[in-house]
Amino acid sequence: MLKKIILPLYNNLTAGTNIKTLQSKIDLLSSKNIYAIPDFIKESTTDFNDINHVINEYSKLSKLNNQDYIALKLSSLNFNPIIINQVVKNLIDNNKQVLIDAENVKNQSIINDITNELIITYNKSYIQIYKTYQMYRKDHLNLLSYDVGKYSKLGVKLVRGAYHHQDKNTNLLFTNKYETDKAYSNALDIIFNSKNSKLKSFICTHNLKDIDKMITLYNKNSELYNYNIFHASLYGFIKHDTQRIIDSGIKTFKYLPYGEIEDAVPYIIRRIYENPTILYYYFK
């Protein structure tokens, strides 16, 4: 039964198993004026051979042509700062910018620490590292505000959060959607009102009110925001609104996960949990 649910979602929400299938989806998106953020789907890796496999995949990703951004889950490298730095340096040396994904509460503190070190190391002349802020967390609006003031060159990836089913009992998440909505709206104000011209932001949301506000704020000064504000959503989501965002002039990306189906199960379960309507969409 699980396979009957997982396989169709895997086929519709990912770019398949390998670099070749990934490249095919990248080309498809490009034909629609949409850019890709490749995301190797394996996470929470501890086995030596698995870690080497992850390293090899990021080596392949570093060689993708006409591809500027790569997503990285630090748990896929077992939070090893030496290995992480080697992978990140190789990506940057090959003209890739790196979006560090947020993860669950258990691991987020070490992710923040490592990401801060990467920002200090690599965001010198240009923004090479993007840090993720989860607006369903009670503390991340303040963290965003603090970092915007602290770092002269900051890359922001603004999300709502995808680990509610794991973290709902930690007392670090808002207990209702209204508070998350408010935090995300306030975060948009921080980003668009920032005096830091070196701030670059991926606005990652499927929420229609967020999208409307993003477009409204962007249109107030599109020349200023043209190279600093991007939108990103998950592959397989908000197809109609994606075109609306493109038409607004905002550069538009799709997170494009790929990898073996057994490694994709945690990703797909998170997608079902946060947006169960996808079951209706793909199985109606």
Residue 122: the pLDDT is: 98
Q: How far apart are CA 99 and CA 172, in angstroms?
A: 23
Q: Provide DSSP, 53-76.
A: HHHHHHHHHHT-TT--EEEE-GGG
Encode the chain (284 residues) as per-residue pLDDT tens digits: 456 778 889 999 999 999 999 999 999 999 999 999 999 999 999 999 999 999 999 999 999 988 999 999 999 999 999 999 999 999 999 999 999 999 999 999 999 999 999 999 999 999 999 999 999 999 999 999 999 999 999 999 999 999 998 999 999 999 999 999 999 999 999 999 998 878 999 999 999 999 999 999 999 988 888 899 999 999 999 988 999 999 999 999 999 999 999 999 889 888 887 777 776 566 65
Tell me the HSE value of 237 on the side-chain side, using a 13 A CA sphere. Answer: 25
Bridge-partner residues for 278, per DSSP?
A: none
Residue 280: the pLDDT is: 57
Residue 66: the pLDDT is: 86
Contact 165, 273 (CB under 8 A): yes
Residue 5: the pLDDT is: 77
Residue 225: the pLDDT is: 87
Those residues whose C-beta lies under 8 Å from the C-beta of residue 178, and which sit 6 or more positions away, are none
The two tokens of residue 188 are 């948009």
Q: Is 2-283 a domain of CATH 2.60.120.380?
A: no
Residue 106: the pLDDT is: 96
Residue 274: the pLDDT is: 77
* Spans of all domains in the chain: 2-283
